[in-house]
């Protein structure tokens, strides 16, 4: 920018967090502030001199503020290049005053549409037009104009101006990238909202996508995630990795967890923690889950958290070494004492909170006291709500609803001669809730609200049944078996019967269902069909 022009900043922000301090810093550096409507009033209220945009353009704000910055003197001041002869001539001829800084953030469209019952009129009124235009103009002309689009940038911008008298080229490009990221996300949010409006008004027929598909699976999918932190590496040391979060993540998600102690989280830790949260959220009773490689090697419910943990850990204590453990209650001292017992090694613990004495015990007593990762997630007690999940494949992306909704028990059907006892039915319900969190082919043996044997991720369901039987040993006698998909042959039932299993739960739907039912009747077992499969690949 030519030094013949005074320093001027255009300031127009919806989010006014810290704007008074930032603008005061600019004034102290010799900037003249030009502003709009509500922003101008906020600056004036802070006792900072400011000129109204209308005084500069000689054109009033009109249409209830819809039109105020869409003016050649505004965009000429942003897009002008004073050191180019043609631009300098236009600047002089039209009385344009170039801006050194443009400080703009946008109407809260995403926050508005997130409000329950928001009207279409309110949503549309919160689509910013002038703001994105100024942001994009300044970002394009970043060699001459600094674009400040977020309160989190204020401190760094002031520091650079104070230290060097100007913004470095590197910082200008960083601010530009952030500005275009903001407008891209903003436009995508608006497009998604409009897709849903179209879907709500659409009439589905044989020749078009259903209204639900239009709303949830639009023709074009653009995702925006913000980098939370780099990771040391991915699944293996030679793979690079980072953790990104959704801008509007829910309070029941891993992105909302607060780490209170321990080493930095790894890629594999985060995968296991996400799976661990999903399991214990399914239960109303105190519950504990022990995770290894995205699979529960132990899970239990009980009247107290300490008892639930004891049962969960005993499910497979060998596999529990170096595990991730989750709880759906605040972790109390009694449970912490059990965790601190010699011989246990835990990678991470996540729960809604830690009692003070429990936290002290976990961070002062065991050998791993400084290293164990303790995470607090109050929202993990909340009811699950279906969101979409994404999985990358070469050249594309798979999108589906998360499998996190409770199965309607009114659709369950006892298909054998014998009805389950009350105790068996409680364990069938428990086993079915846990089984859907096990990698396919999944077989889970359970008894007394405790997983006693898990067969996960095998190519054959029979292999999974044999592994579950070996893991459970004598504990499976009188227990139940849960299968995430139908038994294709009777061999899985025969294996369960050898292990002493007395009840089975599965989706049903195989051409061999009658053969499988007959096997249950031969063994005196009872079996429930749920009508819903829970593959987890």
Question: Which two three-digit tokens encode residue 399?
Answer: 């999108």
Report the candidate in 476, 441, 443, 478 with the shortest Cα–Cα distance to residue 460: 441
Apex 411 CA angle, 409 and 416, nearest 5: 95
Going 383 to 385 to 386 to 390, the CA torsion angle's sign is: negative
- Nearest-angstrom CA–CA distance, 98 and 31: 12
**Cα 36 off chain centre by:** 36
Q: Do the Cβ atoms of 336 and 475 come closer than 8 Å?
A: no
Pairing of strands 146-148, 101-104: parallel
Q: Which of 41, 140, 263, 512 is catalytic?
A: 140
534 given a catalytic annotation: no
| DSSP per-residue letters across 424-435 | HHHHHHHHHHHH
- Nearest-angstrom CA–CA distance, 46 and 27: 12
The three state secondary structure string of 134-163 is HHHHHHHCCCCCEEECCHHHHHHHHHHHHH
Question: Which two three-digit tokens encode residue 471?
Answer: 């893991």
- For residue 233, give the 3-state DSSP assignment: coil
Element of type H or E holding 73: helix 72-79
Q: Do the Cβ atoms of 528 and 415 come closer than 8 Å?
A: yes
Burial 423-455, CB ≥16 within 10 A → b, else e: ebbbbbbbbbbbbbbbbbbbbbbbbbbbbbbbb
75 given a catalytic annotation: no
Pairing of strands 295-301, 323-327: unpaired
Neighbours of 180 (CB within 10 A): 15
- Nearest-angstrom CA–CA distance, 137 and 347: 49
Element of type H or E holding 481: strand 480-483
Q: Which of 41, 263, 293, 369 is catalytic?
A: 293
CB neighbours of 65 closer than 8 A, spacing ≥ 6? 37
Which residues are marked as active site?
A: 140, 293
């Amino acid at each position: 920018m030519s030094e013949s022009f005074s320093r001027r900043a255009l300031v127009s922000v919806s989010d006014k967090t810290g704007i008074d301090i930032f603008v005061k810093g600019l004034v102290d550096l010799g900037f003249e502030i030009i502003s709009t409507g509500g922003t101008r009033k906020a600056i004036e209220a802070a006792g900072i001199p400011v000129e109204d945009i209308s005084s500069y353009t000689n054109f009033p704000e009109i249409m209830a503020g819809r039109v105020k910055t869409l003016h050649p003197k505004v965009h000429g001041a942003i897009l002008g290049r004073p050191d180019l002869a043609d631009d300098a001539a236009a600047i002089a001829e039209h009385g344009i005053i170039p801006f050194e800084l443009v400080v703009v953030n946008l109407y809260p469209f995403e926050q508005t549409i997130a409000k329950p019952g928001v009207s279409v009129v309110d949503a549309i009124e919160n689509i910013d037009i002038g703001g994105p235009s100024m942001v994009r103009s300044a970002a394009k002309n970043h060699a001459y104009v600094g674009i400040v689009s977020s309160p989190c940038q204020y401190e760094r911008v002031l520091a650079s101006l104070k230290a060097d008298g100007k913004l470095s080229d590197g910082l200008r490009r960083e601010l530009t990238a952030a500005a275009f990221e903001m407008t891209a996300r903003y436009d995508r949010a608006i497009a998604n909202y409009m897709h849903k409006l179209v879907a709500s008004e659409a009439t589905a027929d044989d020749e078009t996508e259903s209204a639900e598909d239009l709303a949830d699976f639009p023709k074009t999918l653009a995702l925006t995630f913000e980098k939370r932190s780099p990771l040391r590496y991915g699944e293996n040391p030679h793979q690079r990795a980072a953790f990104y979060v959704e801008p509007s993540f829910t309070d029941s998600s891993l992105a909302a967890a607060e780490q209170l102690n321990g080493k930095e989280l790894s890629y594999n830790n985060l995968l296991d923690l996400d799976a661990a949260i999903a399991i214990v959220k399914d239960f109303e009773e105190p519950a504990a889950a022990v995770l290894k490689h995205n699979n529960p090697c132990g899970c239990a419910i009980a009247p107290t958290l300490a008892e639930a943990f004891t049962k969960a850990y005993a499910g497979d204590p060998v596999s529990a070494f170096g595990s991730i453990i989750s709880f759906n209650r605040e972790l109390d001292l009694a449970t912490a004492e059990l965790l601190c017992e010699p011989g246990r090694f835990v990678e991470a613990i996540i729960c809604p909170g830690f009692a003070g004495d429990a936290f002290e015990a976990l961070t002062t007593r065991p050998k791993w006291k400084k290293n164990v990762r303790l995470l607090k997630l109050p929202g993990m007690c909340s009811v699950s709500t279906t969101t979409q999940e994404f999985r990358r494949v070469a050249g594309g992306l798979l999108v589906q609803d998360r499998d996190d909704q409770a199965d309607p028990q009114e659709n369950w059907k006892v298909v054998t001669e014998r009805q389950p006892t009350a105790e068996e039915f409680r364990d069938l319900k428990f086993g079915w809730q846990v089984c859907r969190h096990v990698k396919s082919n999944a077989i889970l043996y359970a008894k007394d609200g405790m997983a006693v044997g898990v067969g996960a991720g095998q190519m054959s369901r029979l292999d999974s049944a044999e592994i579950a039987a070996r893991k459970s040993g004598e504990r499976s006698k009188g227990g139940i078996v849960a299968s995430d998909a139908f038994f294709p042959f009777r061999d899985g039932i025969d294996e369960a019967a050898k292990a002493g299993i007395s009840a089975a739960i599965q989706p049903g739907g195989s051409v061999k269902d009658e053969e499988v039912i007959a096997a249950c009747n031969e063994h005196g077992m009872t079996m429930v069909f749920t009508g819903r499969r829970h593959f987890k690949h």
